[in-house]
Amino acid sequence: MPPKTKTAFFCQNCGVESPKWVGKCPSCGEWNTFVEEVIVKTNNKQTVGSNGQKPNKPQKISDIETSEEKRYNTQNNELNRVLGGGLVPGSMVLIGGEPGIGKSTLALQIALNLKNHTTLYISGEESAQQIKLRGNRLNSDNDRCLIVSETSMENIFSHIKNTKPDILVIDSIQTLGTQVVESAPGSISQIRECTAQLLRFAKESSVPVLLIGHITKDGNLAGPKILEHIVDTVLQFEGDQNHMYRILRATKNRFGSTSEMGIYEMRSNGLREVSNPSELLLSSNDESLSGVAISASMEGMRPFLIEVQALVSTAAYGTPQRSSTGFDLRRLNMLLAVLEKRAGFRIGTKDVFLNIAGGIKVNDPAIDLAVIIAVLSSSMDISLPKEVCFAGEIGLSSEIRPVNRIDQRISEAEKLGFKHIFIPKNNSKGLDTSKFKIKIHFVSKVGQVFQTLFKQ
């Protein structure tokens, strides 16, 4: 019997299905997000298990055998760190990011670096000749990397059957379409069905699948929210095209931590791994300038030092301006209120501009102390000693709260040649200061740091 065709309405934001159009989505609450799509319902009622042969049987948790998954080494240390050690067989990894940020470049570098494995690189956006030109710019070659330009899922599975790849790369999921669904590629139903087919293939064949996904103008991954639920790992490629650095973060990872971060430098010959980001994020200017403070920050298990730049000036238009780049603006307003109320510094009538050097975004609360010191340095126009760095979270009563992994922060500062570091007093418990050559200052209030640095 031929398949039955019908139409349904799908929410473009969360992917929920409705038999008729509704103004407000009952699932996510967004307005005017439902679009009509043509779908095909098949009459296949066969019940199969995950292996496609027979249904799975319930087992006791004590009877389930486990073994350490052998991962594929991507030959990319930054990516391996974010993934939790490498690509897990049968996993699905989704990489999202702004257009032109380097998603396709990263995927092609991975495919070309895996010289011991057969990789099938499927592109729905570029021709094979365009990918070859990018490969020439990367100065890398791999005869086991197979390239094909295709958007039909039926043809893709035919190529997979003929080549039997060890790793599959899809660039991008929004360009694929299947005959099972009659809507256009990139629609909610097409993305959901194509991803489901690739998921079944990955789990049945134990071949890792690397997907590249588009994002919306709000920065979210395009397509239904179920796309992020289906895949095992979601990686976000961040950065500004005007800066050379790129940040790779994991927002979801079933096989590792989501707190790790990889740093790359975009060059004409591709993405270069940044093994020591501290040296690149710190300024090499020998001239001492006011408004610059160094913070010992952490991203997951990785310590690095970043430069906080602040500019405080008299408000020229009556209403003070507050601007922040790479740091939460609401957090900046809170810190300025603490300075005004608790520490007695009058900066309510001044413009305050804050910037994290290198174009990166930092969420570590331990950067608070460096932010406040940079603001005070610029307000008083007094430069800080270049061999001083800071680590501490600021509370609403101006107290300096303890931060995690203080040993690693101190070691990173000492390795880069800093002579002094200001850390919270409560972090002194259990800390062996004898193994560090750097002078450690334990402080509990913002006023103590101010008196020590500015001799007031």
- 98 annotated binding-site participant: yes
If one counts every other C-beta atom within 10 angstroms of the C-beta of residue 187, the result is 22
Q: Which long-range contacts (CB under 8 A, 24 or more apart) does 39-48 make?
A: 39/5, 39/6, 39/7, 39/8, 39/181, 39/182, 39/183, 39/189, 40/3, 40/4, 40/5, 40/180, 40/181, 40/182, 41/3, 41/4, 41/5, 41/6, 42/3, 42/180, 43/1, 43/3, 43/4
List the Cα angle 17/20/26 in 5-degree steps. 55
**Sign of dihedral through CA atoms 138, 143, 144, 149?**
positive
Residues pairing with 439 in the sheet: 420
As a whole number of angstroms, the distance between CA 131 and CA 142 comes to 13
- 99 annotated binding-site participant: yes
Residue with tokens 């096989």, as numbered in its chain: 255
- 100 annotated binding-site participant: yes
- 411 annotated binding-site participant: no
- 102 annotated binding-site participant: yes
Q: What would the two tokens of residue 170 be?
A: 């899809």
Say if strands 322-325 and 388-390 run parallel, antiparallel, or are unpaired: unpaired
- 86 annotated binding-site participant: no
DSSP per-residue codes, 77-110? HHHHHHHTSSBPTT-EEEEEE-TTSSHHHHHHHH
**E runs forming strands in 219-274:** 233-239, 245-253, 261-267, 270-273
Say if strands 119-123 and 145-149 run parallel, antiparallel, or are unpaired: parallel
- 417 annotated binding-site participant: no
As a whole number of angstroms, the distance between CA 271 and CA 64 comes to 42
Q: What would the two tokens of residue 3 be?
A: 């398949």
- 70 annotated binding-site participant: no
As a whole number of angstroms, the distance between CA 118 and CA 116 comes to 7
Indicate the annotated binding residues for ATP: 97-104
The binding site consists of 97-104
